[in-house]
A and B are shown apart, each in its own frame.
Chain A
Amino acid sequence: MSYGDVSRDITPARSRDLRVSGAIRKKAVGGAAKAALPAAPLLLFLLLFLVVPLLTILHSSVSDEQIAATLPETTAALQSWDGTGVPAAAVYGTLAGELRAADEAGTLRRLGRRVQYELEGGLGILLNASRALPEEALPGDAQAIRELMVGADPAWGKPGVWRILQRYDTPYSSFYLRWALGLPTVLDADGAVSDGPGYDFPTIYLRTVLISLAVTVLTVLIGYPVAYVIATSAGRTGAILLFLILLPFWTSLLVRVMSLIVVLQTNGVVNQLLTGMGLLGDPLSFLYTRPATIFAMTQIQLSFTVLPMLSVMRTIPADQLRGARSLGAGPIRAHATIFLPQAVPGIAAGSLLTFVMCLGFYITPELVGSPSDQMVGSFIAQFTSEDLNWGLAAALSVVLCAGAAILTLPLARRVRRHA
């Protein structure tokens, strides 16, 4: 009971004296700043290792300087080209010089890869041109260079490649973001729009969301009763269950996934049990399937859903359920009308945590799922460490972050309102 309650009950008139003067308020605010001082290392840490990387990723997703940096003069010269036919012979000369420089600097291949994202066979087209140029000095005659290049690859006599180069006289573009959203356009040598550059990202995002949703729902369905028992049983049962829930935190994620592989594989424990009991004639392939992915992720995420639920459920006094029972509600009705509504913030927090974490999963789906169960995280990892396509990796991350924010904000608001 606080003094505020007493004043309301007994001496409401005193509240007038409780107005705060400006000076005191200033002092209080200063005090709050001082109180936040111990959090300074955390804030600094977050700034350095969260905010800065996030901004870097945001920057990487729109940074697209490969073409402009490698072929500055060519792209500048192309700005006056009207986009029909092919550019003037002089541009071929400029390009030849810059290709030669890129070859010597070892950046030609990287340039070719970048062009290839938007131009069918782009890498080959550039490599062919570069190879066709003479070893020694370039011919002074641009027309001769043009003939050499067209001779090496007919694409140089068509507008496609030039239109791509023309686009990139600035170091920024929305190309990677458009690609991550599934809206890219790829040109063929003739300049006609053909199929996209691969990867049906909208489908992959949808898959990511659906798998994450399935895992979230499963962890809630499995975790809710467990959390309820832990929260309401004072004795040993609760402690043992809590221990079981926390146990997975003691082993590495990889070990857990590997053990799951052993359990699920064709000659694994599950199949041996099922065939041994005569429930299955032939062993089933559980591993490398969508359900295996979902179960593995559910197992990993269970504790993350349970713990927030548990912490909220623990704040619901046991007396409330007893109260409801004494008022005439059966155990199920009492639970549904009294306990469940108050557990909602915990369920929301746990679901939110699991859902957002699931969105970023990639190792587990790779180990127990088929390639068509790979989530967007796998692709971010692939583009980051294998394909070295950091622009696309960053763009995918940005889209994932933005999508996660849009999807979870309503839920997050709910959690906060209850909290």
Chain B
Amino acid sequence: MSWTRLFDSGKLFGVSCLAALACAQPALSRDLTVVSYGGVTNETFEKVWLGPFTEETGISAVMDTWSGDLAKVRAMVESGNIVWDVMDATAEPIEIGCEQGLFEKVGDDPLFTEAGLIKGGLTECGIGSMTYATILAYKNGIFPEGPTAVTDIFDTETYPGKRGLRKSPVDALELALIADGVAVDDVYATLSTPEGVDRAFAKLDTIKDDIIWWEASAQPPQLLMSGQVVMSTSYNARAALAISNDNADLTMVWANNVTAIGFFGIPKGTENLEEAKKFIAFTLLPQVNAAFSDYQPYGPTVTAAGAFVKPDVLPNLPAGHIDEDSLVFDGGFWATQGDALIARFSSWVAQ
């Protein structure tokens, strides 16, 4: 959306009217609207972030739900009828949307550059909202000595049996390369070359017959408990909740985990831009940032927040395990190369 087109369509008049209104009234014409994927996550948002934020600033804020479909954001931005101000999303839609000009490019704002975000926690349009990780979970009592790294999923000799893996090239290709000896820091560079992709698929080939693929994040604990698999990749939150809430007899393995960061993005052109930035900055305050993990095993995105994470929760969070050997997920890479890799993966997995 270029400025010339705004002039052409005469929308400037509307924008200036709105600006005038905003100046005249100290209160917002529309509540600050934060969206996430719904369910328990939204409740936690309200409890730990929205409520305290309103208390702190007097700015009222509400939650809404979206499905991750960028088309809705595009429609909003293009029509100028923006009703969402802060969006919590995974890396990919934020990266793609950023490239398409759907999100405000606020990555260089000192509010965020100086907030002490973890490595990879700040991009052109995205500000880290929470961290989660792909870890390995295994059922206790099967192996005399259980796997010690996520990449042990490729070691069928030491750990025979069916293993669960998400039916997606995301994580699978990265883990394959690490298992094949690629240094964690070189994973995405390697995966950007055709040879690297071939290498990753070749590694996956070695365990293909032993894999039971999962798609929904609730599946891994279920597959493990029903004995379908002896080990499985899983999101840390799912495995942790299965252990704590359902007494699942599982062990989580963190070495070589793939840590991913969820991001906040601000739809381009929102009238509540300042308030949105203010809200995001609020969630980055170490204590506030850490509070989320009191309710759900999602990790903080600010280094200093580690001190405020409850000690009994910490082992279940990526924050407790960001080491030399963990890989930080690169949403930008998947935004550009994803289509081709997904197509090749779908084809490969069906052979």
Contact = CB atoms under 8 A, between A and B. Distances in A.
Interface of A: 103-104, 106, 108-109, 112-113, 116, 120-121, 123-124, 127, 131, 197-200, 203-204, 265-268, 283, 285, 287-288, 370-372, 374, 378-379, 382, 387
Given A116-B339, A127-B336, A198-B343, A109 B100 contact: yes
Given A124-B336, A265-B226, A267-B227, A288 B350 contact: no
B238 interface: no
Contacts of A374: 350
B346 A382 contact: yes
Given A198-B344, A285-B162, A106 B228 contact: no
A27 to B, nearest CB: 60
Contacts of A104: 1-2, 5
Given A198-B344, A266-B228, A283-B227, A288 B212 contact: yes
Contacts of A203: 351
B24 interface: no
Given A198-B346, A199-B346, A123 B336 contact: yes
Contacts of A283: 227
Contacts of A267: 226-227
Interface in B219-241: 226-228
Contacts of A123: 336, 339-340
Nearest to A204: B350
Contact of A200 (B336, B342, B347): B347
B228 A121 contact: no
Contacts of A285: 162, 228
Nearest to B348: A198
B134 to A, nearest CB: 19
A238 to B, nearest CB: 39
Given A106-B74, A123-B339, A288-B212, 7 more contacts: A103-B100, A123-B336, A124-B336, A197-B343, A199-B350, A371-B350, A379-B350
B337 A124 contact: yes
Contacts of B2: 104
B96 interface: yes
Nearest to A122: B340
Contacts of A103: 100
A355 to B, nearest CB: 22
Contacts of B6: none
A367 B152 CA distance: 27
A232 B175 CA distance: 62
